[in-house]
Structure 1
Amino acid sequence: MKELLNKRRAGILLHITSLPTGDFGKDAYYFVDFLHDCGITVWQTLPLGMTHSDGSPYQSLSAHAGNTALINIEKLVEKNWLLVSEQCEQCQGTPSFNKCCLLTKAYQGFLERAETEDKKAFKQFCKDKAFWLDDFALFMALRNEFNQQSWNNWSEPLKERESKAIKAAAKRLKETIDRYKFEQFVFFTQWMAIKDYANQRGVFVFGDIPIFVSYDSADVWANRKVFKLDNSGQMSVVAGVPPDYFSETGQRWGNPHYNWQYLQETGFAWWLDRMRTQIEQFDILRIDHFRGLEAAWEIPADQETAQIGQWAKAPGWQLLEAFKKELGSIALVAEDLGIITPEVEALRDDFDLPGMKILQFAFGGGPDNPYLPDNYDRNCVVYTGTHDNDTTLGWSQKIPDYEKHYIHDYLSNPSISLHCALIQAALSSVANLAVIPMQDILELGSEHRMNTPGTTVGNWSWCFHWEQLTPERAGRLSYLVGLFNRK
C-alpha cells in the first residue's frame, strides 16, 4: 500500500464528528461522493478511538476500540435491531455523542430479532478481536461499575487484575460486557462499510495513530508492563512536548511513557497488534508525534507544565523495522513537526517516510525555511494547516501587513485572498499529497478551528453544514485539483 503515497493526490482533512450529523450516517457517504466528484482521492480523519469526557481523539480509552458516539442510529433501525417506538423523547433529543440508551436497546433488539447471518458475524468478530476486545469490554464494564473512575482508583484486586477477582467480575458483568462487544461490532461494521464505499469511489482513507495512549485506558490497565509505571501502577513521568510554536509552556499531555526495554524483549508484540487494528481501518496512517519514536519528552509527573523535562531515547528504528518485517508495505506518514533533530530526520528518511509541511509555518525565517514550497521534495505531505492550527483565514487575519506582502510576493499571486493563495500553493507544490482542512475549503475564520493546543475547553466540536459548500466552492476546488494534476 506504500505506493499510494507515490502519486500526486489531493486530500481533505475532516474528522467524522465534523460531518453535519457527526456520525457514520448518510453524510459520510455524501462526503465521499463530494470528494470523488472533485477528483480528491484522500480523506484524512483524526483518530477514531473512544474519547474521554473532553472529547479529544488523542486521549482514548483504548488503542483498538472505536468511538461508539460515531455509530449511526438510523442504520440500527434499518436492521430492525432498534424500533422507532423505542426511541423515547429523551433519546431523540440526545446529542450524537450520548447514545448509550439507544445502543442498549439496539443490543436487546439484536438478541431478539437479528438475522442468523448477523449473529454469526458478531460471534466471529468477538473471536477475531478477542486479543483486545475481551479486556476492553471488561474494562468498560468495571469503569461503569466504579462510576467512571480511572482504573487506578478501583478496588485493589481489580486494579491489580487478580485472577479470582477478574473471573468473578467477568461472570457478574457478563451482560454488560457482551453489550460493549456488540457496540464495537456495530462500530467496525459501519466504519468498514464507509471505507469500502470510499475505496470503490477511488477515495483512500487516511487515519491518525497517536503515539501515546491514555493512562486511563484498557491498554494500560491490562498491559502494565508495556508502560513506565511503578509497582503501584502510578506514573513518575508523563509525556508531552517542551515549549514550541504552539505553546510557550509546552504541552503536558499526561500520557504514560513506554517501557521500551520490555517492548523490545517481546518483539514489539503490543505495538504490532495495535498497528494491525489500524491498517484494517485505514489505507494510509499518520504516526502522530513521530519524533517520539526517536526520543520523547519526559516530564516529572508532579510538574504542572512541560517546561521541565528531559528527552528519553526510544528504539524507533527497531520498531519500524518490525512493522516492515511483520506487516509488509504500509503507507505511513511521519508527523515530524516541532523540535526535529538530525536523528529524527534520519529515522524518517531511513524508512522513506513522507514528512509534513505546513504552509502557515513557511514564511518566518529565511529562504532555508523547510516549510517553503521551494524546499520540498516530492516525498512529503503539504497542508495549509492542521487540526492544531488556526484556520488559514483566521491565521491570515492576524499576521502583520509586512508578512502578508512578503507572502503575496513569494507566491506571485496578489490578485486573490491570502488563504486562497495558500490553498493554491499547496496544490501546485511538488509534494505528492496536498491536504486541505475543510475549514479552509469553506473559507471559515478562527471561531471554526478544531483545536487550540494547551487548552482543554472549546475544542473538537466544530462541524460544517452542507449549505456552506456552495457549487462555486466545489467547482473551484475541482478546477484547482485538475489544474495541478492531482486527479
Structure 2
Amino acid sequence: MKQAHIFDNRRTGVLLHITSLPNRNLGADAYRFVDFLHQSGVTVWQMLPLGPTHDDGSPYQCLSAHAGNNKLLCEAYIKAQPWVHTEELAGKKIYTIVANAYKQFYENANEADWAAFDSFCQRQAFWLEDYVLYREIRNLNHALPWFDWPVEFRDRDPAALKDLAEQRAESLNIRRFEQFLFFQQWNNLKTYANQNHVKLFGDMPIFVAHDSADVWAAPELFTLDETGHATKVTGVPPDYFSTTGQRWGNPLYEWQAHIDENFDWWVKRLSTQLELFDLIRIDHFRGFESCWEIPASCETAMEGEWGKAPGEALFNRLVAKFGELPLVAEDLGIITEEVTALREKFAMPGMKILQFAFGGDADNPYLPHQHCRESITYTGTHDNNTSLGWYHELDDAARQHLHQYIGTSDEAMPWLLIRVALKSVSQLAVIPMQDLLELESEHRMNIPGTTEGNWKWQFDWNMLPEYCSDKLRQLNQLYGRIIHE
C-alpha cells in the first residue's frame, strides 16, 4: 500500500495545541500562528485532540470523540456575525455567551444562515444528537458520569429521552448551535491554513473515555456490565519504568461487536477526524494489534494480560471506505514485530524521538542513522521535557554521546537538536513550539503519570525571538523542506 500523498514531499511541522496560543482559542492568534508557519517555511501544524475535556483538562480523555471543545470558541468571531445586533453576549462562561448568541441567531438570522445550521445538524446527526443529550443530562446530574445517572437515563430509556428532549428543547438546540459555531470557526481556520500551504495534523487517541457520549450511546461496543461499569480496562504492563505498570482505566473494545457491525463506529469516528484534519496521529497504535486487558477490579496493571485486536480487518475496512489513509502511528515503547508489520502494511509512518536517542549504543532505533524515509522525526513530543530542559538534565555519558554523534559544532541547544531533526531522512520533522522559543523545563506541556498542572502551558508572542522565523526558514531551505505548492 502506498503512503498518503502528504508524504510525497519533505516537510517541517510545529507542535502547538490551540490552548497554548496566547488567547487559547480559534481567534486572531491562530491565524497569526499560521502566518508565522508560512513565513518560516513550515507546512504542518500539529496539535492535540480537540474534544471537550473532563475537569483535568486532558485532551486525551474527552467527553466526545466527535465534538469540538466549546472553550476554544472565539467570542470576537461570534460578535462579528451579521445576526448579532446587540452586545448582549457578555458572560464569564462560554456556554452563557453561546446561549445569548443563539437567542440573537434565532431572532435575526436570515434564511441562508438557518439553512447552514440545519444542514450541519443533519450531516452531523450521527453523533450530535447523542452528544447534546449526554451533555444536557450530565449537566442536570451535576456532572456525574453517565453510569451513575438515574437508571432510565443511564440505560437510554426511549420514553425518558423523548420527554427530556421535549422539555429541554431550547437548551439542546443551544448545544447544537455551539457545535455549529465550533465547526464553522474550525473550517474557516483550516481553509486559511491550507490556502497558506499549511496542513493541519491532528491526534486521535485509540481509546475513548468511559464517561463520554460515545460509550453512553453504544455500551455494547465496550467491555461493560449491565450497569455500565467497566469489566476490563486499558493500560500497559509492568516495565522498566513502573513495577506495577500503568492502569489507564478506559474501557476496552468488544472487538467482536465491532466486527459484527463492519467497524461502522470506526468509520464514523475517522470521518469526523478527516473533516477536521489533513493528517492524523493515532495514539497508542500498538493497541490495534493487541491490548493489555486489566480486570476492572484490580487497582494496578499487574494482573492484566494481552488480548488480540483485529487491526488488519479494521484498517482494510477503512481503506475500502476512504482509500488513502493519511495516518501516523504512535509506535513508541516496546513494539513487537506484529505491530510493526501492521503499521507497514498500511503504509503508516512511525515516530522517532531524538530525546530517546542518546546515552546507549549505535543500535538505538531513535538515532538518526537508524531513521527511514517513512517516519516522523521529533525533537520531543507533548509528553517530553523541552529539549533545552532535557539537555540540562542529561548525565555526562549521554551528553558526551550526543556531542560525539553530532560532531564539532558551536551551535547552542536547542537549535542543535532542531537542526538534527530537520536534516533527518524522515519526510516529516516536527518541532515543539517550546523548542523554537528556547524554553526550559517549566514550560513543558505534560508530565506523564501526574495529574496536576498539566495541559496549561501557553506562550506569548514576546517570547518569540526576532530571528526565529528567518532561521527556521533557512534551515528548511537547506534541508529541502520548503514546499512550493
Identity %: 51
User: Which residue number in structure 2 is paired with residue 16 of structure 1?
Assistant: 18
Instruction: Verify the 8 A CA contact 2:89 2:98 in the aligned structure 1.
Output: no
User: Which residue number in structure 2 is paired with residue 460 of structure 1?
Assistant: 455
Distance in 2 (CA, whole Å) between partners of 1:202 and 1:134 is 35
* Aligned pairs (5 A) from 1:350-365: 350-365=345-360
**Secondary structure at 1:274 match in 2:** helix
Distance in 2 (CA, whole Å) between partners of 1:444 and 1:120 is 47
Q: CA deviation at 1:170?
A: 1.2
Distance in 2 (CA, whole Å) between partners of 1:80 and 1:367 is 62
Instruction: Verify the 8 A CA contact 1:52 1:59 in the aligned structure 2.
Output: yes
**Equivalent position amino acid for 1:7 in 2:** N
Distance in 2 (CA, whole Å) between partners of 1:453 and 1:437 is 17
Distance in 1 (CA, whole Å) between partners of 2:450 and 2:244 is 12
Distance in 1 (CA, whole Å) between partners of 2:206 and 2:22 is 29
Instruction: Verify the 8 A CA contact 2:19 2:72 in the aligned structure 1.
Output: yes
User: Which is worse superposed, 224-233 or 244-253?
Assistant: 244-253
**Equivalent position amino acid for 2:30 in 1:** A
Instruction: Verify the 8 A CA contact 1:146 1:154 in the aligned structure 2.
Output: yes
Is residue 123 of structure 2 the alignment partner of residue 128 of structure 1?
yes
- Stretches of structure 2 lacking an aligned partner (at least 5 in a row): none
**Equivalent position amino acid for 2:346 in 1:** F
Distance in 2 (CA, whole Å) between partners of 1:300 and 1:68 is 34
**Equivalent position amino acid for 1:230 in 2:** D
Distance in 2 (CA, whole Å) between partners of 1:2 and 1:244 is 34
Distance in 1 (CA, whole Å) between partners of 2:470 and 2:243 is 41
User: Which residue number in structure 2 is paired with residue 407 of structure 1?
Assistant: 402
Q: CA deviation at 1:116?
A: 2.3
Change in Cα spacing, 1:199 to 1:238, as seen in structure 2 (3 Å) is same
Listed one character per residue, the Cα deviations across residues 107-146 of structure 1 (whole Å, up to 9, x for unaligned) are 1111112232111100000001111111111111111111
User: Which residue number in structure 2 is paired with residue 311 of structure 1?
Assistant: 306
**Equivalent position amino acid for 2:281 in 1:** R
**Equivalent position amino acid for 1:15 in 2:** H
**Secondary structure at 2:184 match in 1:** helix
2:435 aligned to which of 437, 440, 443: 440
User: Which residue number in structure 2 is paired with residue 31 of structure 1?
Assistant: 33
**Equivalent position amino acid for 1:171 in 2:** E
Q: CA deviation at 1:303?
A: 2.9
Change in Cα spacing, 1:303 to 1:419, as seen in structure 2 (3 Å) is farther
Is residue 303 of structure 2 the alignment partner of residue 301 of structure 1?
no
1:179 aligned to which of 174, 183, 190: 174
Distance in 1 (CA, whole Å) between partners of 2:82 and 2:262 is 45
Distance in 2 (CA, whole Å) between partners of 1:364 and 1:7 is 32
Change in Cα spacing, 1:113 to 1:250, as seen in structure 2 (3 Å) is farther
**Secondary structure at 1:74 match in 2:** helix
Q: CA deviation at 1:479?
A: 1.2
2:134 aligned to which of 111, 134, 139: 139
Is residue 355 of structure 2 the alignment partner of residue 341 of structure 1?
no
Instruction: Verify the 8 A CA contact 1:404 1:418 in the aligned structure 2.
Output: no
**Secondary structure at 2:61 match in 1:** coil
Listed one character per residue, the Cα deviations across residues 347-383 of structure 1 (whole Å, up to 9, x for unaligned) are 0111111000000011143211111100111000000
Instruction: Verify the 8 A CA contact 2:384 2:447 in the aligned structure 1.
Output: yes
* Aligned pairs (5 A) from 1:8-157: 8-82=10-84, 85-88=87-90, 91=91, 94=92, 98-157=93-152
Distance in 1 (CA, whole Å) between partners of 2:336 and 2:59 is 27
Distance in 1 (CA, whole Å) between partners of 2:367 and 2:406 is 10
**Secondary structure at 2:376 match in 1:** strand
Distance in 2 (CA, whole Å) between partners of 1:470 and 1:83 is 41
Distance in 1 (CA, whole Å) between partners of 2:404 and 2:416 is 11
Listed one character per residue, the Cα deviations across residues 293-320 of structure 1 (whole Å, up to 9, x for unaligned) are 0011122223333343211110001111
User: Which residue number in structure 2 is paired with residue 208 of structure 1?
Assistant: 203
User: Which residue number in structure 1 is paired with residue 361 of structure 2?
Assistant: 366
Q: CA deviation at 1:213?
A: 0.5
Q: CA deviation at 1:249?
A: 4.4
Change in Cα spacing, 1:223 to 1:193, as seen in structure 2 (3 Å) is same
* Aligned pairs (5 A) from 1:207-246: 207-243=202-238
**Equivalent position amino acid for 1:289 in 2:** H
Change in Cα spacing, 1:310 to 1:413, as seen in structure 2 (3 Å) is farther
**Equivalent position amino acid for 1:68 in 2:** N
Distance in 1 (CA, whole Å) between partners of 2:86 and 2:465 is 34
User: Which residue number in structure 2 is paired with residue 271 of structure 1?
Assistant: 266
**Secondary structure at 2:467 match in 1:** helix
**Secondary structure at 1:5 match in 2:** helix
Instruction: Verify the 8 A CA contact 1:294 1:344 in the aligned structure 2.
Output: yes
Instruction: Verify the 8 A CA contact 1:245 1:338 in the aligned structure 2.
Output: no
**Secondary structure at 2:420 match in 1:** helix
**Equivalent position amino acid for 1:12 in 2:** V
Instruction: Verify the 8 A CA contact 1:82 1:105 in the aligned structure 2.
Output: no
Q: How many residues align?
A: 480
Instruction: Verify the 8 A CA contact 2:18 2:26 in the aligned structure 1.
Output: yes
Distance in 2 (CA, whole Å) between partners of 1:53 and 1:305 is 23
Distance in 1 (CA, whole Å) between partners of 2:121 and 2:89 is 27
**Equivalent position amino acid for 1:105 in 2:** N
Is residue 248 of structure 2 the alignment partner of residue 253 of structure 1?
yes
- Stretches of structure 1 lacking an aligned partner (at least 5 in a row): none
Change in Cα spacing, 1:186 to 1:369, as seen in structure 2 (3 Å) is same
**Secondary structure at 1:122 match in 2:** helix
Change in Cα spacing, 1:416 to 1:303, as seen in structure 2 (3 Å) is farther
**Secondary structure at 1:454 match in 2:** coil
Distance in 2 (CA, whole Å) between partners of 1:440 and 1:456 is 24
**Equivalent position amino acid for 2:471 in 1:** R
**Equivalent position amino acid for 1:117 in 2:** A
Distance in 2 (CA, whole Å) between partners of 1:28 and 1:20 is 9
**Equivalent position amino acid for 2:341 in 1:** A
Distance in 1 (CA, whole Å) between partners of 2:24 and 2:464 is 16
**Secondary structure at 1:272 match in 2:** helix
Instruction: Verify the 8 A CA contact 1:251 1:453 in the aligned structure 2.
Output: no
**Secondary structure at 2:179 match in 1:** helix
User: Which is worse superposed, 121-130 or 73-82?
Assistant: 73-82
Change in Cα spacing, 1:248 to 1:480, as seen in structure 2 (3 Å) is farther
User: Which residue number in structure 1 is paired with residue 375 of structure 2?
Assistant: 380
User: Which residue number in structure 1 is paired with residue 4 of structure 2?
Assistant: 2
Q: CA deviation at 1:327?
A: 1.1
**Equivalent position amino acid for 2:439 in 1:** L
Is residue 160 of structure 2 the alignment partner of residue 165 of structure 1?
yes
Instruction: Verify the 8 A CA contact 2:238 2:301 in the aligned structure 1.
Output: yes
Distance in 2 (CA, whole Å) between partners of 1:471 and 1:19 is 18
Distance in 2 (CA, whole Å) between partners of 1:482 and 1:129 is 42
